[in-house]
Amino acid sequence: MRSIDLNADLGEGFGPWQIGDDAAMLGLVTSASLACGGHAGDPETMYQALSEARARGVSIGAHPGYADREGFGRRIIPMPPAAISRMIAAQVGSLQGVAAHAGAQVRFVKPHGALANLAAVDTEVADAIARAVADLPGGLAILAISGTRLEAAARARGLQVFSEVFADRGYRADGQLIPRGQPGAVLSDATEIVERLTGFLASGQMPVAGGGSIALSAHSICLHGDTPDAVHHARALRAGLSQAGFRLAPFLPV
């Protein structure tokens, strides 16, 4: 059977505010990207998510983003590349420290939100992220949006690179995600999500807004843990992938 990873962005609560159902999602995904104090996350939330992921055998990644809790990391905060490198190092290092306390290991880094979308098209931002990851301990890999500048920058730094596509987000014809707030940006119908992803895995072609498709590659499929019905979507996608002949497995071992 062919294998594919199913990942989710989790650990995105802080203080009394908990977003999504991490425990349920960690029982369904094979990899998890955990917020590490920028757009969301705090020491307790990190510890709980890390401990649950370790207990479930889920491969763990860091999910750093702009320090913008009010905008949930979905607004670009102008920063020079060197400051972006330091921000990535600080956030990922924080998650690595809590992971050591929880008996878990961080295996990869996946930028969040506006930072990830900017790194997809901006070579300097992409290299700033790749430089920070290369400088950190642990032999961390990069999980990048498929077909982007971040993939190239990470490879140039000698990093292990894995590509992801999104189950619950719409695509433009250039391969970028449709910006949130625009029609078709966020998908909510489980049947549509499953049919689109199984069709993509069979053909390598991702449907895009306005008709047509774009060729992408993927080691992992992402669902957003803060999306309404995320647990329902994850269950439906697991079942649909299994029926299509795919075995769910992390792209990196735990």
Instruction: Show me where the domains of the chain are located.
Output: 2-248
The predicted-structure confidence for 33-72, as pLDDT tens digits, reads as follows: 999 999 999 999 999 999 999 999 999 999 999 999 999 9
Taking the C-alpha atoms of residue 212 and residue 179, their distance in angstroms, rounded to an integer, is: 19
Residue 195, pLDDT above cutoff 90: yes
Q: Which of 53, 27, 166, 24 is nearest to 35 (CA)?
A: 53
pTM beyond 0.85: yes
**CATH number of the domain located at residue range(s) 2-248 in this protein:** 3.20.20.370
Q: Which of 2, 30, 54 is nearest to 250 (CA)?
A: 30
**What per-residue confidence (pLDDT) applies to 228?**
85
**What per-residue confidence (pLDDT) applies to 108?**
98
SS3 of residue 248 by DSSP: strand
Average the pLDDT over 135-154 and give the result.
97
In the numeric block, which tokens belong to residue 1?
Answer: 């059977």
Average the pLDDT over 8-20 and give the result.
86
**What per-residue confidence (pLDDT) applies to 80?**
98
At a CB cut-off of 8 Å and minimum separation 6, what does 243 contact?
A: none
Average the pLDDT over 148-169 and give the result.
97
**What per-residue confidence (pLDDT) applies to 77?**
97
At a CB cut-off of 8 Å and minimum separation 6, what does 73 contact?
A: 38, 39, 40, 65, 66, 112, 113, 114, 115
**What per-residue confidence (pLDDT) applies to 26?**
97
Contact 221, 7 (CB under 8 A): yes
**What per-residue confidence (pLDDT) applies to 60?**
98
Helix 81-102 and helix 123-135: axis angle, to 10°?
Answer: 40
Residue 15, pLDDT above cutoff 80: no
Taking the C-alpha atoms of residue 167 and residue 180, their distance in angstroms, rounded to an integer, is: 14
Q: Where are any strands of DSSP class E within the chain?
A: 2-10, 31-35, 59-63, 106-109, 141-145, 161-166, 205-207, 213-215, 220-224, 246-248
**What per-residue confidence (pLDDT) applies to 16?**
74
